[in-house]
Homo-oligomer: A and B are copies of this chain.
Amino acid sequence: MAKKSPLSDEALEHVARRFAVLAEPMRLRLLQALFAGEMNVNALVEATGGTQANISRHLQTLTQAHVLARRKEGLQVFYAIADPSIFKLCELVCGSLEKQFTKNAGAFSR
């Protein structure tokens, strides 16, 4: 396994796309809601405060990126987090941002 070989352009685009999928506050809210477990669309609409159309689109984006899984049951559609790495990704970013904030807070308090 070549560990230090530079990623191909195609690979980089895939990685970039992955990050782009997570680069929307509304989608992050959806993920945050789904951290608790599987939910249907209506529940997600209520949980996030978005419009149904918009939520549906974001769910589509997340599903196409294989971040979410879709399960249809009668009239309702249930979504759930399909990629467990999402948890760690969010944790990492949050941790990193917290560090930044505390640094800035220090600068202010002086």
Contact = CB atoms under 8 A, between A and B. Distances in A.
Interface of A: 6-7, 9, 11-20, 22-25, 27-29, 32, 66, 83, 85, 88-90, 92-97, 100
Contacts of A100: 66
17 contacts: A6-B32, A7-B32, A7-B94, A9-B25, A12-B29, A14-B97, A15-B90, A16-B23, A16-B27, A17-B23, A19-B20, A19-B22, A19-B93, A23-B23, A85-B93, A85-B96, A88-B92
A21 to B, nearest CB: 8
B20 A16 contact: no
A25 B6 contact: no
B94 A92 contact: no
B92 A89 contact: yes
A25 B20 CA distance: 11
Nearest to A100: B66
Contacts of A22: 16, 19
Contacts of A66: 100
Given A12-B25, A23-B20, A25-B16, A95 B90 contact: no
